[in-house]
Chains A and B, each alone.
Chain A
Amino acid sequence: MAILEVRNLSVNYLTDNGTALHAVEGVGFSLEQGSSLGLVGESGCGKTTAMLGVLRLLPAEGRIVSGEVWYEGMDLLRLSERGMGEYRWTKMAIVFQGAMNALNPVRRVGDQIAEAIMLHGVATGKKAASKRVGELLEMVGMTAEMAGRYPHQYSGGMRQRAMIAMALACSPDILIADEPTTALDVMIQAQILDLLQHLQKELELSVILVTHDLGVVAEICDDVLVMYGGKTAEYAGVDVIYNDPLHPYTQRLMQAFPDIDNPTSSLASIPGYPPPLDALPAGCRFEPRCHCKSGICAVESPPLVAVKPGHYVACHEVKG
């Protein structure tokens, strides 16, 4: 059963001169209970925006223009801000991108985790809260004594662990991890990913992993949503995406990823850059960089169609 279902989510950013930038357009997915979804795509393709939209934490210029976010029979986008506050963090928590920036440098890490606990009444009283903080820190592989330290006394990996502990403070059902391994060295990356997988099993979490590391996705995720230029390019199970990608962009992404069975093969790269939000192509967003485009691609944006049950592709060249 899907624990979270996002339909047709579109987010705009309003600029100073009054025009709207379409950062996310018509993105949808369903997250199964206990499963994990990988959200992949290049920098600036709207991954983080989509997740902040789901949590309704967009910056002041952001506007959710359409969409539904269904959780336990409730469309979260229709709730009042106060109503949303009861879901955020207790049902759905996020590990923000860049753990250093997400921790207040002048407050002890333990106090910052305790803040989440106290605000949602998970534990009442300072003593109970600090006990819970200790539990959480141990859960993510640290000791309770670390609570009394400041963020600058933590290493990068420890900060990421602290952010995960903070996200788990109110025992959420859904954990959104926004590039949890960025800016960490490979050893620490592996540790953090192990930790996430371990926690997912133990706490029966449903996880959305935002990343641009396809290796991480292959290791952890059950489903993959490939975004390009704010739109869904391809959405399918992880095996399908890796073995039988249909969208040209996904195909190229896979070729750009080193193959462990054939380590000497040269890596492909996709020429060009992702489109800037203020100059999106009229047709398919990927058309300027596509290697198998035809006339229609520059004119008309391809719809997302199901080629097989559970495999969605948005490309004119792929026939359903």
Chain B
Amino acid sequence: MEQFKHIWRTFRHRPMGMLGGLMLFSVVFVAIFAPWLAPYDPKERIDVEPGDLLAPPDSEHLLGRDDAGKDVLSQLIYGARVSLTVGFVASLMSMFIGTSVGLVAGYFGGRIGNALMRLVDFLLVIPDLPLMLVFITMWGRGLWKIILVIGLLGWTSTARLVRSQVLSIKERQFILRARAIGAGGLRIIARHIFPQVLPLILADAVLSISGAIIAESSLSFLGLGDPMLVSWGMMLNFAFERAISRRAWWFLLPPGFAIVWVSVGLIMMGNTLEEIVNPRLKTHHLFDPRHMVALIAGVRPEGQAEGGVE
């Protein structure tokens, strides 16, 4: 896998991407070791006194307590599991669908390709969130239903991306050669085209995880999350409904920051990856501020003497 070695070698020297990767890794670490890291078990029944409800942070409860007297930090740590599960699984699903559709539409084209791309257009113009709301309302709330809805609605841009790449790759001569030696359509797609679009899909997948996490948070915030699980969006929802009016900022801010943290990490990582694998995104050197010294510093380009035309 020569190409992935190359990507990693380039990626390693991009501080932006490495920082993003580190941010994501920290959340993955927290999610995996949640039972050891969390000071309390959020599902544990506790006896509370009136003073414990929405108690501000102290040494025992570093991020304070929620309106039921439970530890906010522990909920936050366990919430990482929900967000990452939704993010990874839904993104895997939409990558799978999007890639398949893009490969088939791009390689075979014609009527099948047209029909598939019209479906993509159709789904693209419908705003995602209201559509998700409709589905969740119809199917009921639950973690797997949320994943399914996000995964089933999130593949369209991937399909477009993959298709456009396939359209250009399939005109290359080694595809004709593969056809000449007797390779059929599916074989050409799997052996010759897919490996070429794989890096691009990888970069897109990283970006799509953050999209899925934000979609889950939005649904939960709107009260359509899985009622049995505490996700970051759900915490925001509770905090928004019950804590804000009582100025319990320690319940509202941490889940918000957590969502921003993981999304920004993913986006930084994804953008860097995309820049590496999709050379078109590399900007022209003339647009690179470091090479625009003359313009920024107000220095006149050579040969333009003051005084104008004689």
A binding-site residues for B, Cβ under 8 Å? 55, 57, 59, 85, 88-89, 93-94, 96-98, 101-107, 112, 115-116, 119-120, 150, 166, 169
Contact = CB atoms under 8 A, between A and B. Distances in A.
B contacts with A: majority SS: helix
A55 B180 contact: yes
Given A98-B173, A101-B174, A104-B195, 12 more contacts: A88-B182, A93-B180, A96-B173, A96-B180, A102-B177, A104-B178, A105-B196, A106-B2, A115-B181, A115-B183, A119-B182, A119-B183
B191 A107 contact: yes
Interface in B149-200: 172-174, 176-183, 187, 191-192, 195-196
B158 to A, nearest CB: 20
Contact of A89 (B174, B176, B182, B191): B182
Given A103-B174, A106-B196, A107-B191, A94 B3 contact: no
A83 to B, nearest CB: 12
14 contacts: A57-B179, A89-B180, A93-B180, A94-B180, A101-B172, A101-B174, A103-B177, A104-B178, A105-B174, A107-B191, A107-B192, A112-B174, A115-B191, A119-B187
B159 to A, nearest CB: 22
A112 B195 CA distance: 13
A102 B174 contact: yes
Contacts of A89: 180-182
A132 B183 CA distance: 19
A160 B152 CA distance: 46
A270 B81 CA distance: 75
Nearest to A111: B191
Interface string B192-221: 100110000000000000000000000000
B2 A150 contact: yes
Nearest to B175: A104
Interface residues of B, number: 18
B3 A106 contact: yes
Interface in B23-40: none
Contacts of A57: 176, 179-180
Nearest to B196: A106
A101 B179 contact: no
A31 to B, nearest CB: 19
Contact of A115 (B2, B3, B178): B178
Contacts of B172: 101
Contacts of B173: 96-98, 101-102
Contacts, number: 60
A264 B235 CA distance: 90
Contacts of A101: 172-174
B181 A116 contact: yes
Nearest to A84: B182
A97 B177 CA distance: 10
B175 to A, nearest CB: 8
A11 B187 CA distance: 28
A71 B290 CA distance: 65
A265 B180 CA distance: 45
A171 to B, nearest CB: 13
B181 A119 contact: yes
B178 to A, nearest CB: 7
B196 A166 contact: no
A104 B181 contact: no
A93 to B, nearest CB: 8
Nearest to A153: B2
B195 A107 contact: yes
A101 B173 CA distance: 5
A116 B191 CA distance: 13
Contacts of B182: 85, 88-89, 116, 119-120
Contacts of A150: 2
B310 to A, nearest CB: 47
A102 B171 CA distance: 11
Nearest to A152: B2
Contacts of A116: 181-182
Contacts of B2: 106, 150
The 8 closest A-B pairs by CB, nearest first: A116-B181, A101-B173, A119-B182, A104-B174, A102-B177, A102-B173, A106-B195, A89-B181
Contacts of A166: 177, 181
Q: B173, B187, B191: which has the most chain A beta carbons within 10 Å?
A: B173
Contacts of A93: 180
Nearest to B177: A102
Q: B3, B179, B180, B187: which has the most chain A beta carbons within 10 Å?
A: B180
B299 to A, nearest CB: 42
Contacts of B174: 101-105, 112
A93 B177 CA distance: 10
A57 B183 CA distance: 13
A57 B174 CA distance: 13
Nearest to A170: B181
Contact of A88 (B180, B187, B195): B180
A93 B182 CA distance: 11
A48 B192 CA distance: 24
